[in-house]
Each structure stands twice: as structure tokens, then as C-alpha cells.
Chain A
Amino acid sequence: MNRSRRARAISVSSALVMMVGVGSLAGCASEAGGAEGEQELTVLFNQSNEAGSEWLAKEYEERTGVKINPVLSPYDEIASNLALDQQSGANTIDVATPWYVSLGDLAADGVIQDITDWVDETPEIDVDDFIPAIWEPYSTIDDKIYGLPFDGDTHVLFYNKEILERNGIDKPPATWDEYLEQATTITENESADGIYGASVFGQQSPLILGASFANRLAGFGGSFLDEDGTPTIDSPEAVQAAQALVDIDDVALPTPAETDFGVGNSAWFAGKVAFIENWTDLGVKSEDPTTGSEVAGKWGVQLLPVGEEGQEPRASLVSGFSWVITANTEKRELAEDFIEFAASSEVNAALLTESPPTGVDPSRLSSLEDETYGKEFPEIQEVNRATLSDALEWPTGKNATQAAQVLTDELASLIAGTGGTAEETMQRVQEQWETLLADD
């Protein structure tokens, strides 16, 4: 009787000792080293930038001998992982690439560093080279700089040429109304074969459903905030945008509410949808054999549709990411050096055309005009130029993440039929936004 209990006690304690041993080793390995000899930097990346993270780590180590530890996080958890890491005192992360919308909340919470002085003193960063429409929202909160743009991330409209031809459509749509008409025709003709007019991202997450809404808002000429920072989310344009989402819901790939990036992109690669709004790197992926794409050579790309004929197309900055330095890092200088490298023109240009595709879009004027980029993907380069003029950006100040969630939830209800009319829905959003985003 004794023996079995003692045996168990011994095995448990030795297991514990082993665990602590292994655990502390693992802990040492995962925390940045900081000892003499090899230097390390831990960088938190978005899951879909995995290929990019590997390329960056390799390149940087080759140039400087510094080892980069990439940590991947699902796109909707980066900001919270970052905040938890810093708040709990774990401080394992030195650099990160959060969604630019969370910059304000991260700054307010003291999670990231103010890098205004460093940027001002480092002309090599070449701030003027950043695409202007991207620079401000991705870097600045209340006149202070907290980040450098990493990934432009605008949406454009991809169309499947074969499907359009089959259905007698000779030109892709210029307005959202045409888009609806064409998609409806295609769905009516071919849905029995599992082919639909459009794939619309509608999963209830700001980065997903929010993107679809922002694309339409941009096209109709609306904005989230006006110049004074007051919400204008109940404007006629916003209501039109919301209505456009409701209208496409019936003819899109069933169903937008269950369509996240994975589902939507898969349908596109399988040639099952005629239209999809997506980041410009979808074109790169469509041609890349490693993604299993069946639409290589069969697609075209153009700027997003607009509200009325002749309106100027606008880029919609749906999910860009910024380089930030964490508040408690002990490697400030190393971190600065790394993000200077990572946000540089040369690196941005290289990431645009790497295979496997890195998922990165142009953030600088110079990389936008990069030769290789222009040679291999001229169409994509062309549509990215839309960012040069005007772009629609999300609010980025304090409570911006919550505001984005409120909008997403209300839109989801609207589409599901439980939110009343588009006008009622947007008015509710406006009220909540006025409280959330009021200037303190």
C-alpha cells in the first residue's frame, strides 16, 4: 500500500523536477537572450504574414548577425497579446505589427513606445517616401508617432475573366450597382453548379466584415470621421454602403456571415466566384503554383467600384499593419534598427514579389514604382497607385477597436435581418460612436 503511494509520489515529484527543468530551458530559449555573443529580438507577427516574417528574419540575420524570433498570432489577437505581455511584466516581445486601428488604444495603455523623437532624428527613415495616405493613419496618434507602416493593405476588386465571358459580361463593373447586377446574373445562371457572382467577407469580425463595409463606404465617397474627428457614420453614403452589403448578401457565395478569409479565398482559387474584394497580393497568389490556384492567368484586377459613374475611385485601407516598439523592451536601439530596416524601401519592394507570397503591399512611393514589381505584376501595381490620391482610413484613436466592433456587430445584425433598416442601423452606430470617440 505504502509502496504504490510512495512510488506515485516519487514519480510525480521527479516529473515536476523534470518539468521545471525543461520549462526553464524552454523559458530561456523563448525569452530574448541578451547575453554577449548572439543578440536576439522577439517580433510578434500576424499569422498571415508568416512567409514575410521568415524572409525578414533570414535577411536581417544575414546582414547584422542578430537573430529574430518570430512569434505568430491570429490577426485579431495581436493587440491583446501585446498588451497582456507588457502588462503582466512578461515582456517577451520587443517589436510587433498590430493592426493600425489599435494604435490609439495601445498607446493609451502604455503598451507601445512614442518614437517621435527617434523618427525626427533619423532622416534615413525617409518619412516623405511613405505613401501619404498611408503614413498618417499608420503612424500618428495626436501628433505623436507610434509606428512605421509595414503593410499597406488596401482592397481591390478581382474578377474571374472566364466566368464573366461565359455570362456575356464584357466589362467588369465600374459602380456598385453594376457589381450587384453582374453578380446577380452570374448567380442566377450558375449557382446550380456551385458558382456564384461574388464572394463577400462577412464574418463578424472588424477585420473581415469591416473590410467589406469600408470598401463600399470608400466607393460611395463617405468617411468614418470628418476632419474634426467627429463620426459621420450615419451619412447618406454610409447608409448606401450598408444597403449595398444587404443587397449582395442574397446572391453571394453562401453565406457571407460564414465567409472569412480562408473560405472566401479558397472559393476564389477554386474558380467558384466571379468577384472578390481582396488585398493586391491575391494576384500574386493566384499565379503562384504553391497555393493550388486554378485561376492562374484567368483573372483581372481593377480598383473598387464607386457609387456613381465618374466618381473618383478611392483606396480603402482595410487591414494595414504598423511596426511598433514595445514599452518595456530592453533592446530599444536594436528594435529601432530592425524596424528601420523592415520599413525601408528596399525591404518593402523585396517583400512585394517574394515567393511564397508574403502578403505585403506597397507602403512607400519608391517601392510602389519598383521595377520588378512593375514587370511581374503590372496590373496590381496600377491599382495600388490609387492609394496615391485619396484613401479611406479607419479611426485610430482611443476606443477605436471598440468602435470598430460596434459597427461590425450592428452590420451583422442588419444583414441577418434583425437590425431594422440600413438607416436605423447606421443611426444606432452613430450614437454609440459619438459616445465612444468623443474627444476627452
Chain B
Amino acid sequence: MAERVAADGRASSRAASAWLIAALAVSAVPILYLASVSFMTQGEVAAGRLFPEHPTLAHWIGALTGPVPRAIANSLVVSLTSAAITLVLALPAAWAIVRHRTGGRLLAGTFLAPWLLPPIVAIVPLFVLLRVLGLNNTLTGLTLLYAIMNVGLAVWLLEGFVRRLPVELEEAARLDGAGEFGVLVRIVAPLTGPALVAVGVILVILSYNEYLFAAFVTQSADSRTVPVVISLMLSERVQDFGKVAAASLMGAIPPLAIAGLLQKRLVEGLTSGAVK
């Protein structure tokens, strides 16, 4: 039997494999349970079955024809756009903090501070802001909110990347006559590409899954995001866990897909220096 090689280049450790399998089980079993429930009727769920006796597709079909697909579209648009905006705002800020010590510790702290707190009370002033901009009860407004909310985290994560960039390249560009903005756009941004992807994926997942602001900002049925739609299902007078399970899984497909497809990129991006 050929020796199996692990990620660090050495022989595979049995202890590590055992622990990994345990971790995989812990991650997968609850999700498998949720999937199983999505094929059960409420009677079967209440009876405490683990697997459906008479599997039904009704919940999945119901989820397809209900508010979920629209909610997925809304969530995707909002999270992708807000992540992009956040990155556009965060990269210059991270660079300014690291390279120029702009504002020093105080500025760095100012970025991080809003992210540290539960944003509940902030709903009131942000609502007013949206109204002033004419964006209340729109997905655009929600996108803007998410973009602002996550800048702190993005700056924190990007600082490490930017710090590791070779200064010589920037110096060279400056000697060639490039201004600050030029250096940023032509040197820093491309070099941090993988990191931007990695942080972007994290931002997309965080925005997609956000509930509190979405519940307040998206009042009308066609602007609801996935977490809001699922939460509404929970407050119906008749419980149907199977229906909620199917809708939840369907609504979770995009972030699962993003995480799955991009996990390699994510790791690469983080390896290029993230929070090291």
C-alpha cells in the first residue's frame, strides 16, 4: 500500500484521520437530519422518526413555487453587491492604515469599533439615513447597510495581507511617477487579488445570512431575503417543520455552493497572508 501523504507533505497520521472523520461526522449529521426532515410530513416529524417512511417531495415543490426562489435572488444580489462595495471601501482604508499609518491606531480602532457591537439600536439612525437617501424598503438600501456594516471586519482581515506586500514594487511605481491612487490601483489591488476573493467570500456569506436588518428593511414580499422568509415560516400558526426544512436547505444552496466551489480559492487567498 503506497503511503498516503498529507497536506504538510508528510505521512498521513492516523490520529489526525480519526479526528477528521469525527469532525466530518459532527458537521454532516445534523445537516443530513435536516435533509431527512425535509422529506417528512409533520406527523412523522412529531412522531420522532429519523427517516421518512413515506418520503414526500411536496415540501421541495412547495419551496420551489413559493417565496424562496425570489428570496434567493434578492439575497444573492444584495450580498454580492455589498461585498464588492465593502472591498472597494476597505482596501484603500487598509492600505492607508498600514502604509501611511494614516490616523494611526485611532483610525484602525474607528473602523473596527462599529463591527464589535450588536447593531440593533443602530437600526433607528440607519433607517433615517435610508429615508434621506430615498432608499428605505429597497434592496439598494439594504445593500448599502451591509456594505457599511462589514467594512470594519474587511479592514481587519485585509490589514494582514497588505502588510505582507513588498514595498519595493510600490516604490518602483512611485519612481515611475505614479500617484497614490495609481499605486493603489495598479500595484496593490492586483497583488491582493486572492485575498480580495477570500475576504469577499466571507463577506458574501455574512451578508447573505444576516437577519436583523433584513427583517426591518425589507417590508414588501418581493424584496425579502432568505433569512426573513424562513423566519416568517416559523411564525405561522401551523407548524410544518418539513416545509421549513426544505425551504431552509433550498435557501442555503447558494452560500453552500459558493463555499464549496470557492473553498480552494478561499484557502489559497488566505494562505497568501491573511491574518498571519
Contacts and interface: CB of A to CB of B under 8 A. Distances in A.
Interface of A: 1-2, 4-6, 8-9, 12, 15-16, 19-20, 22-24, 26-27, 29-31, 47-48, 69, 71-72, 74-77, 81, 84-85, 87-90, 92-93, 194, 261-263, 265-267, 269-270, 272, 285, 291-292, 294, 359
B41 A266 contact: no
Interface in B216-258: 216, 219-223, 231-232, 234-240
Contacts of B215: 77
Contact of A48 (B131, B220, B236): B236
Interface residues of B, number: 49
A259 to B, nearest CB: 10
Nearest to B141: A23
Interface of A is mostly: helix
B137 A90 contact: yes
A31 B139 CA distance: 13
Contacts of A87: 124, 127
A312 B136 CA distance: 51
9 contacts: A5-B186, A22-B139, A23-B138, A48-B235, A69-B220, A88-B128, A194-B46, A261-B239, A292-B42
Interface in B119-158: 123-124, 127-128, 130-131, 134-141, 143
A285 B238 contact: yes
A92 B137 contact: yes
Interface in B20-59: 41-43, 46-48
Contacts of B46: 194, 266-267, 270, 272
A27 B239 contact: no
Interface stretch (B9-17, B80-88, B101-109, B263-271): B80-88
B131 A89 contact: yes
B187 interface: yes
A359 B236 CA distance: 11
A419 to B, nearest CB: 27
A266 B135 contact: no
A46 to B, nearest CB: 9
B134 A19 contact: no
Interface string B195-218: 000000000000000000001100
B154 to A, nearest CB: 14
Given A8-B189, A84-B127, 4 more contacts: A1-B187, A194-B46, A266-B238, A291-B238
Given A30-B219, A92-B137, A261-B237, A2 B186 contact: yes
Contacts of A269: 42, 238
B190 interface: yes
B84 A15 contact: yes
A90 B186 contact: no
A88 B223 CA distance: 19
B88 A27 contact: no
Contacts of A262: 234-240
Contacts of B238: 262, 265-266, 269, 285, 291
B77 interface: yes
Contact of B220 (A30, A47, A75, A89): A30
A2 B178 CA distance: 13
B239 A263 contact: yes
B185 interface: yes
B193 interface: yes
A88 B131 contact: yes
A30 B142 CA distance: 15
